[in-house]
């Protein structure tokens, strides 16, 4: 099988699984994104170990599991049972206690690495639980994944067009020391295409106004590009091409969602202020 065929096949299967699981029900949504959270954290901690750090893999993943699950249960209870959210901070302080009994150098570096894996991956993915509620019925919960689905499709549209335009006419490097392949032409071309795509999302899904979709597209293009550079800097510091190999031809979880991870909190903040 050629590299292109493998990449195409993986991409199609991944697309079907992500979109299908997100749409089917709130249970399949939770199962998918919880799995991505845990695998993404393990991937991150593996990279940190390559750099010489010693994060608490198990504790960090447990914290990610608790955080995502507590947010899921909190939303399911129509935002009434606050005790679900109280559990999450406890595990963070447990990280400090556990480090006392570990025989590794630089204990506070290890604590910082562990917490970074939670903040960088588990927190954004957990916030998706608040992105799939029906805004019109808030605080009563009804599963409505259209904003999340539209954001995912817009992110992929931006990535695709930024790559196509950048590879064809790109001459001015965006940040060559971190990501030599990215160009300003690709960025602005992808941004304009994502704006056009956002109107398609409005026409297909509605839910929010066309200018809300436009603003979300802008966040995904601008903040998402910064998220891509964050992961690129991490990989460059380790001198590796991909964060993992769980997706043949596409790399790892962080490679696929680096832009989305950083964008999620900004999208949610905008919607909270807007509505």
Helix H or strand E encompassing 183: strand 179-183
Give a yes or no: residue 157 inside a domain: yes
Give a yes or no: residue 86 inside a domain: yes
- The 10 Å Cβ neighbour count of residue 35 is 14
CA distance 197 to 154: 7
Q: Same domain, yes or no, for 157 and 275? A: yes
CB 19 within 8 A of CB 149: yes
Structure tokens belonging to residue 76: 């399911």
Average pLDDT, the chain: 88
Phi/psi for 243 (5° steps) reads: -75, -20
Instruction: Pinpoint the alpha helices (H) of 118-252.
Output: 123-127, 146-169, 184-205, 210-238
Q: 86, 110, 142 — which closes off a domain? A: 142
pLDDT for the residue numbered 2? 56
Q: 90, 111, 142 — which closes off a domain? A: 142
The verdict on pTM exceeding 0.95 is no
Q: Same domain, yes or no, for 195 and 261? A: yes
Q: Same domain, yes or no, for 119 and 190? A: no
- Judged against a pLDDT cut of 90, whether residue 3 lies above it is answered with no
- Judged against a pLDDT cut of 90, whether residue 26 lies above it is answered with yes
Q: Same domain, yes or no, for 155 and 272? A: yes
Give a yes or no: residue 7 inside a domain: no
Phi/psi for 179 (5° steps) reads: -135, 85
- Judged against a pLDDT cut of 60, whether residue 4 lies above it is answered with no
Summarize pLDDT for 192-236 with one digit per residue, the tens: 999 999 999 999 888 899 999 999 999 999 999 999 998 888 888
Q: Same domain, yes or no, for 88 and 206? A: no
pLDDT for the residue numbered 242? 66
Containing structural domain, residue 252 = 145-275
Determine which of 54-63, 67-76, 100-109, 249-258 has the lowest per-residue pLDDT on average: 249-258
CA-closest candidate to residue 76, choices 141, 144, 146: 141
Determine which of 13-17, 25-29, 146-150, 235-239 has the lowest per-residue pLDDT on average: 235-239
Give a yes or no: residue 193 inside a domain: yes
Q: Same domain, yes or no, for 168 and 230? A: yes
Determine which of 60-69, 91-100, 138-147 has the lowest per-residue pLDDT on average: 138-147
Q: Same domain, yes or no, for 250 and 236? A: yes
How many domains, the chain? 2
By the 10 Å C-beta count (0-12 exposed, 13-18 middle, 19+ buried), 108 is classed as exposed
């Amino acid at each position: 099988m050629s590299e292109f065929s493998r990449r195409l096949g993986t991409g199609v299967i991944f697309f079907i699984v992500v979109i299908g699981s997100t749409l089917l029900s709130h249970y399949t949504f939770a199962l998918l994104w919880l799995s991505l959270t845990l695998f993404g954290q393990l991937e991150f901690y593996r990279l940190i170990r390559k750099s010489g750090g010693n994060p608490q893999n198990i504790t960090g993943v447990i914290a990610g599991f608790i955080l995502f699950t507590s947010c899921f249960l909190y939303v399911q209870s129509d935002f009434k049972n606050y005790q679900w959210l109280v559990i999450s901070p406890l595990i963070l302080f447990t990280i400090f206690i556990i480090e006392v009994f570990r025989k590794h150098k630089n204990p506070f570096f290890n604590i910082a690495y562990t917490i970074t894996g939670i903040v960088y991956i588990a927190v954004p993915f957990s916030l998706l639980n608040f992105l799939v509620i029906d805004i019109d019925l808030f605080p009563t919960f009804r599963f409505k994944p259209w904003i999340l689905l539209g954001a995912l499709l817009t992110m992929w549209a931006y990535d695709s067009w930024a790559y196509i335009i950048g590879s064809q006419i790109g001459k001015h490097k965006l940040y060559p020391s971190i990501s030599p392949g990215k160009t300003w032409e690709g960025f602005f071309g992808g941004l304009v295409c994502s704006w056009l795509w956002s109107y398609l999302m409005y026409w297909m899904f509605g839910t929010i106004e066309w200018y809300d979709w436009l603003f979300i597209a802008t966040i995904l293009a601008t903040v998402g590009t910064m998220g891509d550079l964050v992961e690129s800097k991490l990989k460059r510091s380790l001198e590796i091409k991909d964060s993992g190999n769980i997706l043949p031809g596409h790399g790892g979880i962080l490679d696929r969602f680096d832009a989305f991870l950083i964008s999620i909190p900004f999208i949610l903040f905008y919607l909270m202020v807007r509505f």
